Structure 1
Amino acid sequence: MTDTSQNNKRIAKNTLLLYIRMLLLMVISLYTSRIVLNALGVNDYGIYNVVGGIVVILAFLNNAMAGSTQRFLNFEMGMQDSNALQKVFSTSIHIHVIVALIVLILGETIGLWFLNTNMNIPETRITAANYVYQFSLVTCIANFLTVPYNATIIAHERMSAFAYLSILEGVLKFSVAIAIYYSPFDKLVFYGLLMLFVGLINNICYATYAYRHFTECKGISKQINKDKMHKMLSFSGWTIFGNLGYILHTQGIAIIINMFFTVAVNAAQGIANQVNGVVQQFLSNFLLALNPQLVKSYASGDIEAMHKLIIRGCKFAFCLVAFFIVPLVLETPTILQTWLGVVPEYTVIFVRMVLFILLVNSLSGIFSTSKGATGNIKIYQITLTIIGAFHLPLAWAAFALGYGPEYSMYVYLVIVIILQIVRAWFVCNSLQLSKRRLFSEVVVRCSLVILIGSILPALLHMYLPTSLVSSIITCIVGMISVAVSSLFIALTPHERQVVHAYVEKIIKRHER
């Protein structure tokens, strides 16, 4: 059996495990959101989302450092150097302790000042908002300290750990929702406190699993490896720069919306982010299974295999998102009404725009990992950050001119399209990947998938009477239509054979 065949099977197995986990989590998460919204009310739900947004901005270092740690771990695995692997993990621990202290200082100074002087929060709820802020900040610090352990689990492709532990997290969050619904205490404060406990339990579980299963997590050196730290910080520096731009024009927009509108609009945005999070998790699970193989292929010098992974990964990522986007966009009003009961103003347009943006942005993870594998990301990150930075001032200008909050999403969609073009250009030039090949095999095929796959469900949406049954029929037909279009338009004959063989193998295994 060839290494390529083994890698493909590993990716398929890991992806399947993660999707089984996500199906369970999706049901739990969606129902939990409804309970939380009803328990907190629209205003407190909006406060929780906007206060959390401040902490996410402070925590922009988290994603950057996680990606950097995973990249260096995967690279050393590709080089098969266990000693260097140990050095990478120990160095990442030292870096994350320093970063956690920096975030704590920023959070208790700039972040706290901004919350109490610039946010549009009802005066009667400012104390509760401060409690939630402190709980969120502690959770953020705990997340920092466990990033190296999570990155190690991903680097070793132990996706079953994420499957089981994430299910535990989902069950805990559901329990929290039930608890606050019947709580006699201030529901917003109690919710923030319980979510802190969920975060701490989750982080302890991940760290414990990594410590028990991977040798590099056991012998943390007290001495700092200056050479390794310099390389990791050099790489991370530009990743941090890029992540800062991304966070500012995603989470930062929640703060600007709060300055011009009310916390009720933040609640609508928070619900849209919930939908985005569910769909994004399906895509992220696929990338968790694919990303280590991209870096290892580059480290081992197998560039042609990396080209194939990029092309195949882009197509699968787009089709996986399209599978959900088509029915959700068409039936957004009915789905939200059924899901939430009470639908805050602007929620429908926010959800639809978030889904369109997610579809366009579905390729960014693969492009970023592919470019990151080269280690040369300075110009790449500067360019993306400058383009992304236009989101906040353009949205601010739109609000100042009297336009509604949905215009921030229109601006962002245009920016995301430009960012994808720039990402593709950098990746093709860095890895000698043909632009014509990427365009014909990914852009053309994926565009046909979304166009052809949308025809039948769109007709049903227009001509069937508005009802829950009609929405269910449209959603089912939409998912089938996109799946069939993906199979016969996006995939090559060889890729269809691989999918067919894998599905057939699963069916036979269950028949035994």
Structure 2
Amino acid sequence: MLGIMCVQLYTSRIILTSLGVVDFGLYGVVGGVVIIFSTLVSALGSATSRFFTVELGRNDFDQLRKVFSTAVALHCAMALVVVLVCESGGLWFLNTQMDIPADRMYAAQWLFQFSVATALFTFIQIPYNAAIIAHEEMGVYAYVGLLEAFGKLIIAYLIGISPIDRLIWYGLLLMVLQIIVVCVYCLYCLYRYNESRFKLQRDKTLYKRMLAYSSYDMIGNISVMAQGQGLNMVLNIFCGPVVNAARAIAYQVQSAATQFSNNFLTAVRPQIIKLYAKNDIEAMMKLVQQSSIMTYMLMLMVILPLSLDINFVLSLWLGEYPKYTDSFTIIILVNTLVNAFRNPRTTVNHATGNIKLPNLVTGTVLCVALPFGYLLMKLGFNPNSVFFGMLATTIVADVTNLIILKKYVDYSIIEFLKCVHLKCIFVTSIVLLIVVPITMSLEPGFFRLIVCTLLSISAIFITSWMIVLDKRQRNRIFKFVKRKVNGKN
């Protein structure tokens, strides 16, 4: 993942240079129109993953085959619906509501069509991804992730020799790459898992259960869309594609910063669901606590040095960058840290199957960021206010999610706050007191970035070891390291 992160960041620099700020911003916002209308299908993907993992936990392989085939049929049907909606409502929004330079509208329309096609193939891939995650074969993601990362690097270089408009060429090549990735996932699953062979199912009850589950989960996905692409549209309406480029760069940094934690969570989610399927609630909540802390600390190790030296990092990475990129990046990274607390608990909601109330309440709170951001821009506030509003709703959503989970799982909210939130805040405070004065005393540059990074990682590791881990956990780590040193498995 470290290699993939470096390749992605380097690729972003080449793409920004090749496309230019305006086209780079247009790619982010035009592709965002498709993402908005894709919300329904992505919600169905969460349902597929949950049903798959539960049946594996129960060792019911006959039902597993039914779930897979049902998921494939539903994804194909829903993908067609999304294509119809994009080709009607999406095109109308693109042509009438978005701030796109007149001379780039032709390219934007072609890019939109390629984005729709790319999304269609992504939808088909979802059931196969769910099968791999449920079987916990995470190594597959490493290899396919490398394939995708280096594929995008090759595409970035191919932009420079484009035989047609560069933005159109970029969209076309990304679509081809997505088709290749889908084929790899599908062929692997067909070779590896017997249940991944499609057979049309007539179990209406299973169709209804998966659709009902995904309809509730769609509320949560709409909230993610509102905070992401929804706010991106607001920025486009009020500020134009240059600010969209700043926002796109900020999210590129956020994506790179969360690579390790996201893959850690991908490995943990099946374990949480399987523990619930076995009715081992105590072990499940213990794992949720540990994964929440681990996710937060992994992100903090990357986010802290990035935030303290953001201007130098952006200059080193991109050379020149659009206005607001630095402030957008810092606020979005802080928002990501807050989300780290809630993400493992969201998996518990999926495991219980009780997602209607959590998604309705938490999703509504998160969706407030969209009208709030629009209002702030309408009142004349600067673009940073949009992301401060997003951060505020994320904090409120975390509190509401803690309270709602108590309704379905027997756990202590106070104990969870003490074991997770309080410890993470305490560690962060100590680390900031150590790192910030030393970092700020040095001249901005590569040496300061290296010192800040090494100091941040060391301080986080030491304080976490002393404050977060208990004696039993430290002993287990000592024994694990000792076995590895001695060459034992």
User: Could you tell me which residue of structure 2 aligns to residue 318 of structure 1?
Assistant: 296
The answer to whether the Cα contact below 8 Å between 1:457 and 1:475 also exists between their aligned partners in 2 is no
2:29 aligned with 1:50? yes
In 1, the alpha carbon distance for the partners of 2:239 and 2:43 equals 31
In 1, the alpha carbon distance for the partners of 2:336 and 2:486 equals 35
2:363 aligned to 385, 388, 391, which one? 385
Give the paired residue count: 489
The answer to whether the Cα contact below 8 Å between 1:454 and 1:481 also exists between their aligned partners in 2 is no
The answer to whether the Cα contact below 8 Å between 1:92 and 1:148 also exists between their aligned partners in 2 is yes
User: Could you tell me which residue of structure 2 aligns to residue 92 of structure 1?
Assistant: 71
User: Could you tell me which residue of structure 1 aligns to residue 447 of structure 2?
Assistant: 469
1:266 aligned to 211, 230, 244, which one? 244
* C-alpha deviation, 1:321, in angstroms: 1.0
2:218 aligned with 1:240? yes
* C-alpha deviation, 1:508, in angstroms: 4.5
Give 3-state SS (helix, strand or coil) of 2:200's partner.
coil
Greater displacement, 226-235 / 120-129? 226-235
Amino acid of the structure 2 residue aligned with 1:90: S
In 2, the alpha carbon distance for the partners of 1:223 and 1:201 equals 28
1:69 aligned to 31, 45, 48, which one? 48
* C-alpha deviation, 1:31, in angstroms: 0.4
User: Could you tell me which residue of structure 2 aligns to residue 158 of structure 1?
Assistant: 137
2:124 aligned with 1:145? yes
User: Could you tell me which residue of structure 1 aligns to residue 425 of structure 2?
Assistant: 447
Amino acid of the structure 1 residue aligned with 2:468: A
Alignment of 1:300-339 (within 5 A): 300-339=278-317
User: Could you tell me which residue of structure 2 aligns to residue 188 of structure 1?
Assistant: 167
* C-alpha deviation, 1:196, in angstroms: 0.7
1:226 aligned to 189, 195, 204, which one? 204
User: Could you tell me which residue of structure 2 aligns to residue 424 of structure 1?
Assistant: 402
Amino acid of the structure 1 residue aligned with 2:270: P
* C-alpha deviation, 1:507, in angstroms: 4.6
In 1, the alpha carbon distance for the partners of 2:237 and 2:295 equals 35
Deviations 1:194-238 (A, max 9, x none): 1111111111111111111011002x2223311111111111110
Give 3-state SS (helix, strand or coil) of 1:190's partner.
helix
In 2, the alpha carbon distance for the partners of 1:33 and 1:288 equals 25
In 2, the alpha carbon distance for the partners of 1:504 and 1:54 equals 52
* C-alpha deviation, 1:94, in angstroms: 1.1
In 1, the alpha carbon distance for the partners of 2:43 and 2:7 equals 29
Alignment of 1:349-428 (within 5 A): 349-428=327-406
Greater displacement, 43-52 / 372-381? 372-381
Q: Taking structure 1 as reference, are residues 66 and 498 closer, same or farther at Cα in structure 2, changes over 3 Å only?
A: farther
The answer to whether the Cα contact below 8 Å between 2:70 and 2:200 also exists between their aligned partners in 1 is no
In 2, the alpha carbon distance for the partners of 1:356 and 1:400 equals 25
Amino acid of the structure 1 residue aligned with 2:25: G
Amino acid of the structure 2 residue aligned with 1:84: Q
In 1, the alpha carbon distance for the partners of 2:314 and 2:117 equals 32
Give 3-state SS (helix, strand or coil) of 1:366's partner.
helix
Deviations 1:401-429 (A, max 9, x none): 11111100100111000011111222233
* C-alpha deviation, 1:346, in angstroms: 0.4
Greater displacement, 195-204 / 490-499? 490-499
Amino acid of the structure 1 residue aligned with 2:381: Y
Runs of 4+ displaced beyond 6 Å: none
C-alpha root-mean-square deviation of aligned residues, in Å? 1.4
Give the TM-score, by structure 2 length: 0.97
Amino acid of the structure 2 residue aligned with 1:23: L
Amino acid of the structure 2 residue aligned with 1:249: Q
User: Could you tell me which residue of structure 2 aligns to residue 174 of structure 1?
Assistant: 153
User: Could you tell me which residue of structure 1 aligns to residue 102 of structure 2?
Assistant: 123
In 2, the alpha carbon distance for the partners of 1:227 and 1:427 equals 27
In 1, the alpha carbon distance for the partners of 2:13 and 2:397 equals 34
User: Could you tell me which residue of structure 1 aligns to residue 20 of structure 2?
Assistant: 41
Deviations 1:277-325 (A, max 9, x none): 1122222101110000111111111111111111111111111111111
For structure 2, which runs of at least 5 residues remain unmatched after alignment? none
The answer to whether the Cα contact below 8 Å between 1:62 and 1:147 also exists between their aligned partners in 2 is no
Q: Taking structure 1 as reference, are residues 374 and 279 closer, same or farther at Cα in structure 2, changes over 3 Å only?
A: same
In 1, the alpha carbon distance for the partners of 2:405 and 2:469 equals 22
In 1, the alpha carbon distance for the partners of 2:423 and 2:309 equals 25
* C-alpha deviation, 1:38, in angstroms: 0.5
Greater displacement, 290-299 / 385-394? 385-394
For structure 1, which runs of at least 5 residues remain unmatched after alignment? 1-21
* C-alpha deviation, 1:162, in angstroms: 0.7
In 2, the alpha carbon distance for the partners of 1:111 and 1:337 equals 35
In 1, the alpha carbon distance for the partners of 2:461 and 2:105 equals 48
Amino acid of the structure 2 residue aligned with 1:435: I
Q: Taking structure 1 as reference, are residues 107 and 509 closer, same or farther at Cα in structure 2, changes over 3 Å only?
A: farther
In 1, the alpha carbon distance for the partners of 2:462 and 2:43 equals 37
User: Could you tell me which residue of structure 1 aligns to residue 478 of structure 2?
Assistant: 500
* C-alpha deviation, 1:506, in angstroms: 4.2
* C-alpha deviation, 1:509, in angstroms: 4.3
The answer to whether the Cα contact below 8 Å between 1:315 and 1:446 also exists between their aligned partners in 2 is yes
The answer to whether the Cα contact below 8 Å between 1:154 and 1:288 also exists between their aligned partners in 2 is yes
In 2, the alpha carbon distance for the partners of 1:328 and 1:154 equals 30
Amino acid of the structure 1 residue aligned with 2:120: I
In 1, the alpha carbon distance for the partners of 2:487 and 2:436 equals 37
In 2, the alpha carbon distance for the partners of 1:137 and 1:270 equals 19
In 1, the alpha carbon distance for the partners of 2:24 and 2:137 equals 35
* C-alpha deviation, 1:139, in angstroms: 0.6
User: Could you tell me which residue of structure 2 aligns to residue 206 of structure 1?
Assistant: 185
Deviations 1:432-477 (A, max 9, x none): 1111210111111111111112222201222111222122211221
Give 3-state SS (helix, strand or coil) of 2:408's partner.
helix
* C-alpha deviation, 1:489, in angstroms: 1.5
In 1, the alpha carbon distance for the partners of 2:92 and 2:474 equals 56
